[in-house]
Amino acid sequence: MLADGAQAAPHMKIDVQDLDVDFLGFSGHKMCGPTGIGVLYGKKEHLEKMEPIEFGGEMIDFVGLYDSTWKELPWKFEGGTPIIAGAIGLGAAIDFLTDIGLDNIAAHEHKLVGYAMDQLETIDGLKIFGPRDPMKRCGLVTFNLDDVHPHDVATVLDMNGVAVRAGHHCAQPLMKCLQQVATARASFYLYNTEEDIDRLVAGLRSAKEYFGDVF
């Protein structure tokens, strides 16, 4: 069982032993770190049985003309010159988040998402997806505004200095289940404030006004 932790690792404490997951992966760039590097945790018993699929320096134990043997973990899977600067950057990002405290980050996000839900609910015609209880959410709100396509909503928000993501969010089966062609999504992290949410709400009100005239 492989868990994709790309959207969890920056926001909450993860205990791979408690989850008892075989593999868990996450990306550096979603947690204040550099792009092009991430982490793959795997249970030693599985990793020991697995063959490498990438080859290069530093991974070999013995090389013959027709066969080779591999070094022990983790070198077996780290063929070639590694992304050294990226690894140092990701280490610094993890230290940075650990110093702030993942529990503090989660609490900040829950507070912001609660505030956002309260404010967004005051906008007529705004449909919010997902549970009402902020404690059951990560720091994000997914929504659609009336019949306006979320790409148009995102463009108006962008003109107001608010960046949201619009589209199917790499989750087309979920869009189908929600019976939406696409949605807009505002996400919050440790650097966001209630003022940012006020700007989002003001931006949505101006989108509503603008498209209200069009439709």
Ligand X SMILES: Cc1ncc(COP(=O)(O)O)c(C=O)c1O
* Active site positions, annotated: 170
72 vs 61: CA distance, rounded Å: 8
Q: Which residue has the tokens 């990793």?
A: 47
Count Cβ atoms within 10 A of the Cβ of residue 146 and give its class: 0-12 exposed, 13-18 middle, 19 or more buried. Answer: middle
67: exposed, middle or buried (Cβ count in 10 Å: 0-12, 13-18, 19+): exposed
Question: Most distant CA pair in the chain: distance in Å?
Answer: 74
Distance of closest approach, residue 129 Cβ to ligand X, in angstroms: 17
Smallest distance from ligand X to CB 187, Å: 11
Angle at 184 between CA 188 and CA 117, to 5 degrees: 55
Residue closer to ligand X by CB (options 27, 183) is 27
In angstroms, give the least distance from the CB of 171 to ligand X.
Answer: 9
Closer residue to ligand X in complex, CB, 148/190: 190
Give min distance, CB of 183 to ligand X, in A: 15
SS3 string of 1-12?
CEEECCCCCCCC
10 or 203, CB closer to ligand X? 10
Dist. CA 210–CA 157, nearest whole Å: 11
For residues 2 and 88, which CB has a smaller minimum distance to ligand X in the complex? Answer: 2
Please give the structure tokens belonging to residue 28.
């550096």
Measured CA to CA, the distance from residue 120 to residue 135 in angstroms comes to 17
CB 48 to ligand X: min, Å: 26
Closest CB to ligand X among residues 7, 160: 7
Summarize as ranges the residues that interact with ligand X (CB under 6 A). Answer: 4, 6-7, 27, 38, 170
